[in-house]
Amino acid sequence: MKGNRCVKELNEIVPVIARCRDQINALEIDSVREAIKTTSSDGGDGTGADAPGTVAGTTSAAGVDAESVWTGKVEIVDLCSGFGYLGMFLSELLPASKVSKITLVDKSWPKHNAKEVKKHHLNCDHLYHEQWPIRLARSSQNLKNGTDTRSMTKRLISGAEGPVIMLGVHLCGTLSLRAVELFNANPEIISIAVKPCCLPVKAHSYRKEVWTLGGHEIFARKVCGVGKWKKGKWIGPPRTHLEGRFKLWCECLAEGTDIGAEGEKSTEQIQVQADHFQNTYIWATRPYGVGGNKPSLTTTHLEPNQQPGFGREPTQVKTVEAGTKKEPLCPPIPKGK
């Protein structure tokens, strides 16, 4: 790993590492244990009813006897991890006595059953050194694919022995929506840190999409942006016009983050990139067992005959069923339990 590359990566993730460490150190083990007990005894949905596949009082959605096996350690899931710089720093810097595993989720990892590692795959050799103080694991998942997110939720979130901390740094476009949606839908996740990168592409706006995230509506036409970087050069209109949209995008994501009655959320500007405006961190925390009560992410489309102007709210929206071909980019994530 080259030194200057490391410094560049570290610059952006330092705030996330610091926050993660503080949260883990402040975690009240007894109250989490109590919440796990309550959650597993009411079937995992806080209603007292048995959730499908669970046995009340004994088994979590993943089939684990959560109450008795929880070691008091949290698990960390890093979404769109890339090569895994954040995970590697966390492994070195977090207390190993309080974290059992850091899972790096990215669509570019080779699948575990892959016969060969292809050119487009991330090389994962570095994850499996015995020296990592906290175990690093990889999971090859496409966050925009319903099957992948369901299986990921089952194995990494509801299948976790205890609380999960979710991270998503440098999330492009609608991947930020996916991250917040996962947080909203899964009460095992006690905190999330999201650092959005670029805006959703204009195609969402042309399709007149309206996302409903945690009960909050986000109008694609207000937050989508034109232009992209190509070989270090910006292709598109002056980037300054995107700044306001980016601010609104981050506010909408924060607004749509479900923290229940006792959680906390905020957005924070930390100038980690001198020449860019994408310096917003979205933080949210909530007690274990809270969440999963808001409707999952939906994408609706304005009727074709509507041509609303910027800033005007639609009077009529058409709901598109989850997983239909009309909604290829943002299928709602089902609850998975």
**Interaction site with ligand SAM (CB under 6 A):** 9, 80-82, 106-108, 141-144, 169-170, 172, 175, 197
Residue listed under structure tokens 């991250």: 179
Query: In this complex, which beta carbon is closest to ligand SAM, that of residue 73 or of residue 144?
Result: 144
DSSP 57-97: TT--TTS--HHHH--S-EEEEEET-TT-HHHHHHHHHS-TT
- Give least dist CB 82 to ligand SAM, A: 3
Query: In this complex, which beta carbon is closest to ligand SAM, that of residue 232 or of residue 311?
Result: 232
Residues ≥6 apart with Cβ < 8 Å to 271: 279
Query: In this complex, which beta carbon is closest to ligand SAM, that of residue 106 or of residue 327?
Result: 106
Q: CA of 280: how far to CAs of 20, 242, 250, 253, 329, in Å?
A: 17, 14, 7, 11, 24
Query: In this complex, which beta carbon is closest to ligand SAM, that of residue 27 or of residue 88?
Result: 88
- Give least dist CB 152 to ligand SAM, A: 10
Query: In this complex, which beta carbon is closest to ligand SAM, that of residue 27 or of residue 165?
Result: 165
CA 11 to chain centre: 20
Query: In this complex, which beta carbon is closest to ligand SAM, that of residue 144 or of residue 208?
Result: 144
- Give least dist CB 64 to ligand SAM, A: 25
Query: In this complex, which beta carbon is closest to ligand SAM, that of residue 64 or of residue 329?
Result: 329
Determine contact, residues 146/178, Cβ cutoff 8 Å. Answer: no
Query: In this complex, which beta carbon is closest to ligand SAM, that of residue 164 or of residue 169?
Result: 169
- Give least dist CB 256 to ligand SAM, A: 19
- Give least dist CB 334 to ligand SAM, A: 17
Nearest to ligand SAM by Cβ — which residue?
A: 82
- Give least dist CB 213 to ligand SAM, A: 17
Positive or negative torsion for Cα 66, 69, 74, 80: negative
- Give least dist CB 122 to ligand SAM, A: 7
- Give least dist CB 12 to ligand SAM, A: 6
Determine contact, residues 177/217, Cβ cutoff 8 Å. Answer: no
Query: In this complex, which beta carbon is closest to ligand SAM, that of residue 27 or of residue 104?
Result: 104
**Bridge-partner residues for 302, per DSSP?**
317
Please tell me whether residue 165 adopts helix, strand or coil conformation: strand
- Which of 144-151's residues contact partners 24+ apart within 8 Å by CB, and which partners? 144/174, 144/175, 144/178, 144/329, 144/330, 144/331, 145/331, 146/322, 146/323, 146/331, 146/332, 146/333, 146/334, 148/107, 149/178, 149/182, 149/333, 149/336, 150/333, 150/334, 150/336
279 closest CA partner among 182, 177, 195, 163: 195
- Give least dist CB 29 to ligand SAM, A: 29
Q: CA of 154: how far to CAs of 51, 60, 134, 190, in Å?
A: 13, 11, 22, 16
